[in-house]
Amino acid sequence: MLKSSMALGYIILVCLFNGSLAQLNQRLFPDDFMFGAATAAYQVEGGWDEDGKGVSIWDDFFHSQGANETGDVACDSYHKWREDVENAKNLGLQFYRLSIAWTRILPDGTLGNINQKGIDYYLNVLKALKENNIEPVVTIYHWDAPLHISKLGGFLSSAIVDYFGDYARLLFQTFGEYVKYWITVNEPTIVCELGYGMDVFPPALALIGDGIYQCGYNLLKAHAHAYHIYEDEFKATQKGKITIVTECAWYEPNDPTSTQDLETRERAIQFRLGWFANAVYLGNWPQVMIDRIGNRSQAEGLSKSRLPQFTQEEIDYINGTHDYFALNTYGTVNVTYTPEAPPGEASYWTDLEVTNSDTYDDPQGIRKLLNWINNRYNPGEIIISENGKVNDGGLDDDDRIEYISGYLSSILDAIYEDNLNVIGYGVWSIMDNFEWGSYDKRFGLIEVDFDSPNKTRTWKKSAYWYQDVINRRCLATTCQENIL
């Protein structure tokens, strides 16, 4: 009797231990999961007019305002790239996301003038990353269009499709040997909303009722053109993958029991993520955008929808132009149903019609968003191309550690419990940089002293923490001992 109850106790103990071991195992990242960090040319490079670089819309935007803070020098990565690669290596990064400044390669955006010094800069960076076993993830367009291309109409003109294609082809020819992950465009929503719909970003056109949608239309065609060039001319030999980066918060209905709030949440995601992802992953704009903008345009007395209509040929050309899903996501927003306003001034905001809360941190949001994406688009591999925490600076950035560990933990749940194929995670950003108008908003794992002539880099607490997570491939501090 005593013996058998001891045996039973032993069995229970083993089960308990195995259970917790299994749980700990679930805090271990899969062997092929890639940890990374992200940057963008205008935000880190500086050297805005060096070695033949042309003028971008961002150079012009800040210079014409006489702004005190510009990206002219930024982190000075144009000169300090060796130190940046060294930091990436010491962090243990498996990938490093960077963007190419279009004007460093093609000063006026066209093939009429190819700048070899610009090409050499990126060749040096890419080779150094490869030598250190860090996979470059390269964004072709992270918002810094050549001023010349913008003057030709930018994303309001279909001419950009061929200019972008020429530029992308040159990048594939020149850098393709070193790049396995390409991104055509970063966050098209932001390009079109803030630059064409509003005047927050260049070209600051403030065309919120129609230019914003025209931008999306030409941008998707430019993306698809670059995708097809890669697919038809380079993929077989270079064996890389290419996609577009979409951004979206997770939206929660303010009242989870309200059907109207739930419908509003769905519409908010469709107007944000779906605006670009729908055409790429399913074909055409989301139906709710076609319907709402079409109806409102008609009520405004227009003969055509403000949302440009794709031809069937265009739909087919854009549909399927992805080899993986790349997602930028930072937080959660609560949405409340708002009755549709009567037709008046045409605007993306009234087309969408939703009341938003401020964005807040909620690690569960990323898991829900990933599931939403997987259910709608079935995209296969997903990379979190950006996620990160902003603060006012300082080396003791416990808030950033808490944020990243929460989001990573939620991603592990998505991998193990929801069976989602999330293959990588990129922190925005490896270092503090120029947040599109401000040096005060700090996102870096590594501090940059922008007042020092040397732009001194200093590791924050989060950098050491991330290094340790990458090293142990685990979030729980007890992982290693228990696994061994």
* Residues engaged in binding ligand NOJ (CB under 6 A): 40, 43, 186-187, 328, 386, 428, 435, 443
Least Å distance, CB 434 to ligand NOJ, is 8
Q: Measured from the CB atom, is 409 or 433 closer to ligand NOJ? A: 433
For the bound state, the minimum distance from the C-beta of residue 292 to ligand NOJ, rounded and expressed in Å, comes to 26
Beta strand residue intervals within 312-461, DSSP E: 325-328, 332-336, 355-356, 382-387, 422-428, 446-448, 457-459
| Shortest separation between residue 285's beta carbon and ligand NOJ, angstroms | 23
The three-class DSSP label of residue 83 is helix
Which residue from 189, 214, 185, 184 is spatially nearest to 200, judged by alpha carbons?
Answer: 189
Positions marked active-site = 187, 386
H helix and E strand count, the chain = 20, 13
Closest CB 38 distance from ligand NOJ, rounded Å = 7
Pick between residue 85 and residue 326 the one whose CB is nearest to ligand NOJ: 326
The answer for residues whose C-beta is within 8 angstroms of residue 359's C-beta and 6 or more apart is: 249, 330, 331, 332, 333
27 vs 223, beta carbon nearer ligand NOJ: 223
Residues 6 or more apart from 91 whose CB is under 8 A from it? 37, 430, 445, 463, 466, 467, 470
Among 139, 140, 129, which residue's Cα sits nearest to residue 89?
129
Surface-to-core class of residue 413, CB atoms within 10 Å of its CB (0-12 exposed, 13-18 middle, 19+ buried): middle
Question: Closest Cα partner for 427 from 26, 31, 35?
Answer: 35
Nearer CB in complex with ligand NOJ: 139/264: 139
CB closer to ligand NOJ, 196 vs 234: 196
Whole-number Å distance between alpha carbons of 272 and 248: 6
Residue 125 token pair = 């960076």
In the bound complex, what is the minimum distance in angstroms from residue 290's beta carbon to ligand NOJ?
27
